[in-house]
């Protein structure tokens, strides 16, 4: 019962998620992060294919983890579900 309450939203509300934009190439988005070592990081130029996070806290955590890989922290931006 609790899970259905947490995920309920009225038709007028939009579920906001967060995606990561490459800090040095603004047309690229992070599409997969399998580990922090660099081998599992994939990019896409299609915004709809970017991976997304339910909370801004998780998106910021992943962005901080990617700072060394990119040389700068990726931008966190909202996206519709």
Over the stretch 29-79, which tens digit does the pLDDT of each residue have?
Answer: 999 988 655 568 899 999 999 999 999 999 999 999 999 889 999 999 998
Compute the distance between CA of residue 42 and CA of residue 32 in angstroms, rounded to an integer.
5
5: in domain:
no
The predicted pLDDT at position 14 comes to: 65
53: in domain:
yes
8: in domain:
no
Total tally of structural domains belonging to the chain: 1
1: in domain:
no
pTM score: 0.76
41: in domain:
yes
Residues contacting residue 65 through CB under 8 Å, at least 6 positions apart: 33, 36
Domain span including residue 39? 13-80
6: in domain:
no
57: in domain:
yes
The predicted pLDDT at position 25 comes to: 94
The predicted pLDDT at position 43 comes to: 94
């Amino acid at each position: 019962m609790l899970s259905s309450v947490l995920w309920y939203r009225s038709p007028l509300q939009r579920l906001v998620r967060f995606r990561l934009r490459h800090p040095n190439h603004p047309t690229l988005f992070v599409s997969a992060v399998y580990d922090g070592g660099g081998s599992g990081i994939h990019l896409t130029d299609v915004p709809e294919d970017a991976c997304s996070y339910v909370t801004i806290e998780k998106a910021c955590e992943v962005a901080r983890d990617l700072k060394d890989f990119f040389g700068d922290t990726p931008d966190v931006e909202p996206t519709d579900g």
